Amino acid sequence: MPESISDRKRSHLELCESSPVEYAGKTTLLEEVDFVHDALPELAVDEVQVGTELLGKRLRAPLLITGMTGGTEEAAAVNRALARVAEAKGIAFGLGSQRAMHRSPALAHTFEVRAEAPTTLVLANIGIVQAAALSTAEVEALARAIGADALCVHLNPAQELIQAEGDRDFRGGVRTLTRLARELPFPVVVKETGCGLSRRVAERLVAAGIRTADVSGAGGTSWVKVEALRADEAARELGGVFADWGIPTAAALLACRGLGLDLIASGGIRSGLDVAKSVALGARLAGVALPVFRAYREGGVAAAGAFVDRLIVGLRTAMVLTGARDLEALGHAPLVLGGRLREWVLAGGGA
Ligand code: FNR
């Protein structure tokens, strides 16, 4: 019997909680980015400004809890808890794929977080292949039903190809994004899910009318690995071959900058220094998924909130040590890029 979406969501959460689902042979390459230390910063920690804006909403820090889940009661609890964290910290919050909700509208409550997060920037979520099969009105209804501010369309061809029941036909993606960007009355954010966006893809997004993109690069959670852990023998072998597939997050950021996109950096962001480096490489926000989920599973809302606080303290520390008063200044901080990252830059970041 084919597995239901709910069963799949349950097994994804279970595997992400405790199994080795992160890249092992590839990193974000953020370790190849060095700031130049400022031994004489004319700054007090308290005057460093980490506030920013995305999609018309103010954020108290340049952070997003990226979309993870929905569709089950367990997922509903995770969404509500992490949305509370986002509201308390003044950061953005993304929901997981609403595909299950389209099939069963009764599942809408598992994505509803407005009661917990009345002022938060909340992002709805759907996969590109599902979005292609829906009318614009149907897509709009999914986001409207939960009071989201914008819609994330996720791209995950690598995951789908390893997943036994995954999609196999990715044609028409650009056409779908062009239609949604033109017809939806709220912004569309395009995100990868851990394999990264190349410059060529970013250029096609811009041509499609997309203004915001999450590069979600390699180095953090690997969805190829998650699917390989769930798969039968043949798919497991294929998953093993492609376990380290993808564009490292730092390389994806450098590839996608300069095109007028508002960039979000996710995929392996694990510290405030990673957040600072992401901003210096051109990101407006950094996004985190796995570590927030794991912190929540270990210690509830308090632990997830403490993880977010640690990111902010680390970011502020990096800003003082580079003499950057605000995120705009951090975006212009001088950087030293190591050899492996420069190889990606020389290759045009996948152009
Ligand atoms: C995800 N991610 C994800 N992305 C998406 O667009 N829709 C989804 O439904 C999900 N589901 C999901 C579940 C869980 C448990 C995790 C950990 C992640 C991908 C996520 O938003 C992000 O792009 C990647 O996980 C990379 O970030 P991290 O995990 O390395 O911080």
pLDDT mean over 164-191? 97
- For residue range 51-79, list pLDDT tens digits in order: 999 999 999 999 999 999 999 999 999 99
Ligand 1 atom showing the smallest separation from residue 13 Cα: 15
CA of 31 to the centre of ligand 1 (A): 22
Q: Is 151 exposed, middle or buried (0-12, 13-18, 19+ CB in 10 A)?
A: buried
Ligand 1 atom showing the smallest separation from residue 216 Cα: 23
Determine the Cα–Cα distance for residues 198 and 156; give it in Å rounded to an integer: 14
| pLDDT reading at 348 higher than 80 | no
CA of 66 to the centre of ligand 1 (A): 6
Mutation to probe ligand 1, out of 27, 221, 224, 270 (largest number of atoms < 8 A from CB): 221
CA of 82 to the centre of ligand 1 (A): 14
CATH number at residue 194: 3.20.20.70
Could you tell me if residue 350 is inside a domain? Answer: no
- For residue range 123-148, list pLDDT tens digits in order: 999 999 999 999 999 999 999 999 99
CA of 301 to the centre of ligand 1 (A): 19
Measuring from each residue's beta carbon to the nearest atom of ligand 1, which residues come in under 6 Å?
Answer: 12-13, 16, 66-69, 96-97, 125, 152, 154, 191, 193-194, 216, 220-221, 266-269, 288-290, 293
Ligand 1 atom showing the smallest separation from residue 70 Cα: 9
DSSP character for 36? P
Could you tell me if residue 349 is inside a domain? Answer: no
Could you tell me if residue 314 is inside a domain? Answer: yes
| pLDDT reading at 19 higher than 90 | yes
Could you tell me if residue 351 is inside a domain? Answer: no
pLDDT mean over 318-347? 97
Could you tell me if residue 165 is inside a domain? Answer: yes
Q: What tokens does 88 get?
A: 């308390």
CA of 279 to the centre of ligand 1 (A): 20
- The residue range of the domain holding 197 is 5-344
Could you tell me if residue 19 is inside a domain? Answer: yes
Could you tell me if residue 325 is inside a domain? Answer: yes
Ligand 1 atom showing the smallest separation from residue 66 Cα: 21
Q: What is the dihedral of CA 119, 282, 97, 53, to 10 degrees?
A: 10
Please, how many CA atoms are within 13 Å of residue 168, restricted to the half-sphere of its CB? 2
Q: How many domains does the chain have?
A: 1
Neighbours of 4 (CB within 10 A): 15
Residues whose CB falls within 8 Å of the CB of residue 325, separated by 6 or more in sequence, listed in order: 43, 47, 48, 49, 319
CA of 319 to the centre of ligand 1 (A): 27
Note the pLDDT of residue 349: 57
Determine the Cα–Cα distance for residues 332 and 249; give it in Å rounded to an integer: 19
| pLDDT reading at 1 higher than 50 | no
